[in-house]
């Protein structure tokens, strides 16, 4: 369907208040361009690229974007998923495959309502992770997310291309509008919800000490154990103050051992 009126401006797109769209290991410039087009259809402009296979900037992406230059011009490159998520508060990982993780599973509609709730509270730091076209997200990427976003499709054939998946999520965000419920989380004014960078700092601190004491000594089990621990903390909705407290606890528990 055609329908572009450049004289009309979407305030949300101008301010970048919608969720970030993070593409991990995207393979084709054309797919990135079509994602940009889908994003701008829904007023989204924060595109983050983790290790795109093709060179960037990319002429094929520009051609496939069909004029969604506002998205491509702002697109940012990151060396890994953790860096792309560092400033975000809530992240959903898209996947159609079962994962051996305990995480809430949300439909695009429910995830959009949650992100609108956060945005209406004055915090725009949300994002949605999308994996590479051929195989989807790695479990280590999914472990960094607060929940799984799954589109309820035909279970016998639930394959979507990248732009289709982004469009579904973006449309639900757009449709949610101002209908999101009032925020249910009360955070004391002297602190704030933790960013992914702060959470990752806690994870790395804890895992470093668990390696030192031998808890993670079984090499084959270490990746699964680390993901399980990270998922526990992801579900708690920690604040920045709580992160500092937990890191103090870890330091206190280990300082005697090192002495």
Q: What is the pLDDT of residue 133?
A: 84
Q: Using pLDDT thresholds of 50, 70 and 90, give the confidence band for residue 257.
A: low
Q: What is the pLDDT of residue 15?
A: 47
Residues 156 and 225 in one domain: no
Average pLDDT over residues 97-113: 89
Residues 245 and 164 in one domain: no
Q: Look at residue 169 and tell me whether its pLDDT is greater than 80.
A: yes
Residues 156 and 241 in one domain: no
For residue 56, the domain's CATH number is 3.40.1280.10
Q: Look at residue 159 and tell me whether its pLDDT is greater than 90.
A: no
Residues 43 and 77 in one domain: yes
Residue 182: inside a domain, yes or no? no
Residues 143 and 215 in one domain: no
Q: Look at residue 11 and tell me whether its pLDDT is greater than 50.
A: no
Whole-Å CA distances, 69 to 44, 52, 243: 12, 18, 39
Residue 95: inside a domain, yes or no? yes
Residue 53: inside a domain, yes or no? yes
Q: What is the DSSP string of 177-213?
A: TT-PPPP-----TT--BPPHHHHHHHHHHHHHHHHHH
Q: Look at residue 213 and tell me whether its pLDDT is greater than 80.
A: yes
Q: What is the pLDDT of residue 195?
A: 94
What is the span of the domain harbouring residue 36?
15-176
Residues 48 and 142 in one domain: yes
Q: What is the pLDDT of residue 237?
A: 87
Average pLDDT value for the chain: 88
Comparing 167 with 133, the larger pLDDT belongs to 167
Q: Look at residue 197 and tell me whether its pLDDT is greater than 60.
A: yes
Q: Using pLDDT thresholds of 50, 70 and 90, give the confidence band for residue 180.
A: very low
Average pLDDT over residues 150-159: 87
Domain boundary among 176, 210, 239: 176
Residues 170 and 218 in one domain: no
Residue 190: inside a domain, yes or no? no
Q: What is the pLDDT of residue 8?
A: 52
Share of the chain above pLDDT 70, in %: 88
Residues 32 and 154 in one domain: yes
Q: How many folded domains does the chain comprise?
A: 2
Residues 172 and 107 in one domain: yes
* Those residues with Cβ within 8 angstroms of residue 93's Cβ, 6 or more apart along the chain or in another chain: 128, 129, 137, 141, 142, 144, 145, 147, 148, 149
* Those residues with Cβ within 8 angstroms of residue 72's Cβ, 6 or more apart along the chain or in another chain: 32, 33, 36, 47, 57, 61, 62, 65
Average pLDDT over residues 25-29: 94
Residues 162 and 50 in one domain: yes
> Which of 25-29, 134-138, 148-152 comes out lowest in average pLDDT?
134-138
């Amino acid at each position: 369907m055609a329908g572009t009126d450049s004289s009309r401006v979407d305030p949300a797109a101008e301010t970048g208040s919608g969720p970030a769209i993070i593409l991990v290991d995207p393979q084709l410039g054309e797919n990135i361009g079509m994602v940009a087009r889908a994003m701008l259809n829904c007023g989204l402009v924060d595109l983050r690229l983790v290790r795109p296979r093709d060179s960037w900037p990319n002429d094929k992406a520009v051609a496939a974007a069909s004029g969604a230059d506002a998205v491509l011009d702002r697109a940012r490159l990151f060396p890994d998923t953790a860096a792309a998520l560092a400033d975000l508060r809530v992240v959903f990982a898209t996947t159609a495959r079962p994962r051996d993780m305990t995480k809430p599973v949300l439909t695009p509609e429910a995830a959009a309502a949650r992100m609108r709730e956060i945005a209406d509270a004055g915090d725009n730091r949300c994002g949605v992770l999308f994996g590479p076209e051929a195989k989807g997200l790695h479990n280590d990427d999914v472990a960094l997310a607060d929940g799984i976003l799954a589109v309820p499709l035909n279970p016998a054939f639930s394959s979507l291309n990248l732009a289709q998946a982004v469009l579904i999520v973006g449309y639900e965000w757009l449709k949610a509008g101002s209908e999101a419920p009032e925020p249910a989380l009360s955070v004391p004014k002297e602190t704030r919800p933790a960013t992914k960078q702060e959470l990752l700092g806690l994870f790395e601190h804890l895992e470093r000490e668990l390696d030192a004491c031998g808890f993670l000594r079984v090499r084959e089990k270490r990746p699964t154990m680390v993901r399980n621990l990270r998922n526990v903390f992801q579900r708690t909705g920690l604040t920045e103050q709580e992160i500092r407290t937990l890191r103090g606890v870890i330091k206190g528990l280990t300082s005697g051992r090192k002495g």
